[in-house]
């Protein structure tokens, strides 16, 4: 038999095919990379448009979005409040009442009257008359303006300090808690607060002070300034963690700093506040307050930086007349006390500042 030479076809075809496939892979890989990169770029562009264009525009044109951020009435602390269940909150010497401050619009505010500690023991009797205690009080009264994220129960720890010296009238703004459910606004709340002060003035001849925390500091200052136009002046104004203007406070929030580099930042995220009536210009209103002012701020405040409280103090100190308008004092609580934004009541010297 002759020698049969093996065919190379079967032996080399698969290898050739494999080699051919490997040669095509770089092109496919390159196409895949290009497509993937294009998709990523498109997604990033869309994300940029949504975050840095869409959100600012939504904020600019939506008064309701601005209102809900300033007045988060649907998410208040503490949740599920029971304003007449005083045992739940371990508090005594308190009565719950409702005060109508605007009959035309039927605006009624939920109010707590908290007795000074010295009168608490007497209040355990069923026939205790809170109205008489307020009317004939040897103690002054403080009208308390809470922050934007709570109801009148939220500041119990601060009440424990204040009731060492005062009757406390703590109230919820319109749209908050069990007060009349209407949209809150700076102007509306200030008008309500003026009427609440006048109601309180009818209940007692005692000295009346204002205490405002956070957003409440802006509202209490604005209320005191407006009362001045009627020749009504409270005995004093306490500002706990205040700010100068809402615009400056917003610029200090870490989240909004993400947008601060945008050319349209001011026109979409700051100016619209004025356009919709959300001014909160405490640095202007404080100049029209004709009573002594005390400002207290924590150095470690993570919500409203203490430099805004100090700036407000400097404005008041430099532009008010201490002889005719009353002096202004500023207390900066050191960081090691860890008072932050809502625990200033823990400051050991706070009672001495109030005295």
Count of the separate structural domains present in the chain: 1
- Residues spanned by the domain of 168: 69-354
Q: 113 catalytic, yes or no?
A: no
Q: pTM for this one?
A: 0.87
The two tokens of residue 304 are 């409203």
**pLDDT over threshold 90, residue 15:** no
pLDDT at 6: 54
Burial of 284 (0-12, 13-18, 19+ CB in 10 A): middle
* pLDDT confidence band for 124 (50 / 70 / 90): confident
**pLDDT over threshold 70, residue 10:** no
**In this structure, is residue 16 part of a structural domain?**
no
* pLDDT confidence band for 316 (50 / 70 / 90): very high
Q: Of these residues, 155, 192, 290, 301, which one is catalytic?
A: 301
pLDDT at 262: 86
Q: Reduced to 3 states, what is the DSSP secondary structure of residue 118? A: helix
* Per-residue DSSP letter, 50: I
- Looking up residue 140, the CATH number of its domain turns out to be 3.40.50.1820
First to last CA, the chain: 125
**pLDDT over threshold 90, residue 126:** no
**pLDDT over threshold 70, residue 272:** yes
**pLDDT over threshold 70, residue 298:** yes
Distance, in Å, from the CA atom of 291 to the CA atom of 288, rounded to the nearest integer, reads 9
**In this structure, is residue 56 part of a structural domain?**
no
Q: 90 catalytic, yes or no?
A: no
**In this structure, is residue 11 part of a structural domain?**
no
Q: Of these residues, 137, 193, 214, 283, which one is catalytic?
A: 214
* pLDDT confidence band for 3 (50 / 70 / 90): low
**In this structure, is residue 41 part of a structural domain?**
no
**In this structure, is residue 215 part of a structural domain?**
yes
pLDDT at 258: 85
**In this structure, is residue 234 part of a structural domain?**
yes
Closest CA to 213 of 165, 269, 282: 282
Distance, in Å, from the CA atom of 237 to the CA atom of 210, rounded to the nearest integer, reads 5
> Is 164 within 8 Å of 117 (Cβ atoms)?
yes
pLDDT at 69: 94
Bridge partners for 237 per DSSP: 210, 293
pLDDT at 52: 84
pLDDT at 14: 54
**In this structure, is residue 17 part of a structural domain?**
no
* pLDDT confidence band for 215 (50 / 70 / 90): very high
- DSSP string of 304-355, one letter each residue: S-HHHHHHHHHHHHHHS-HHHH--EEEEEEPGGG--TTT-GGG-TTHHHHH-
CA distances to 214, 287, 351 from 297, rounded to whole Å, are 10, 19, 14
Q: 260 catalytic, yes or no?
A: no
Helix (H) or strand (E) holding 61: helix 55-61
Q: Of these residues, 113, 167, 222, 341, which one is catalytic?
A: 341
**In this structure, is residue 33 part of a structural domain?**
no
């Amino acid at each position: 038999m002759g020698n049969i030479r093996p065919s190379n076809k079967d032996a080399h075809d698969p290898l050739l095919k494999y080699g051919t496939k490997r040669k095509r892979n770089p092109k496919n890989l390159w196409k895949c990379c290009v497509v993937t990169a294009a998709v990523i770029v498109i997604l990033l562009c869309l994300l940029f448009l949504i975050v840095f264009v869409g959100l600012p525009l939504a904020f600019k044109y939506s008064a309701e979005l601005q209102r809900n951020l300033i007045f988060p009435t649907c998410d208040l602390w503490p949740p599920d409040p029971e304003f007449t269940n005083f045992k739940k909150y371990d508090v005594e010497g308190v009565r719950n009442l409702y005060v109508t401050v605007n009959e035309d619009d039927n605006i009624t505010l939920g109010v707590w009257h908290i007795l000074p500690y010295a009168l608490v023991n007497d209040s355990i009797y069923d026939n205790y008359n809170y109205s008489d205690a307020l009317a004939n009080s040897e103690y002054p009264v403080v009208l308390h303006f809470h922050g934007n994220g709570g109801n009148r129960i939220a500041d119990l720890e601060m009440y424990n300090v204040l009731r060492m010296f005062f009757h406390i009238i703590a109230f919820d703004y319109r749209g908050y808690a069990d007060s009349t459910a209407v949209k809150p606004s700076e102007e509306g709340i200030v008008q309500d607060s003026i009427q609440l002060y006048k109601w309180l003035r009818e209940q007692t001849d005692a000295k009346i002070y204002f205490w405002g925390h956070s957003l409440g500091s802006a509202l209490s200052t604005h209320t005191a300034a407006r009362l001045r136009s009627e020749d009504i002046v409270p005995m004093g104004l306490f500002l706990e963690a205040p700010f100068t203007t809402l615009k400056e406070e917003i610029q200090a929030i870490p989240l909004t700093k993400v947008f601060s580099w945008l050319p349209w930042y001011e026109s979409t995220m700051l100016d619209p506040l004025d356009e919709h009536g959300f001014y909160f210009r405490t640095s202007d209103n404080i100049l029209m307050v004709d009573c002594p002012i005390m400002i207290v701020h924590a150095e470690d405040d993570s919500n409203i930086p203490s430099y805004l409280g100090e700036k407000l103090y400097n404005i008041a100190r430099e532009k008010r007349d201490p002889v005719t308008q009353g002096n202004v004092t500023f207390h900066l609580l050191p960081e090691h006390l860890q008072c932050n934004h809502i625990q200033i009541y823990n400051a050991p010297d706070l009672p001495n500042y109030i005295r």
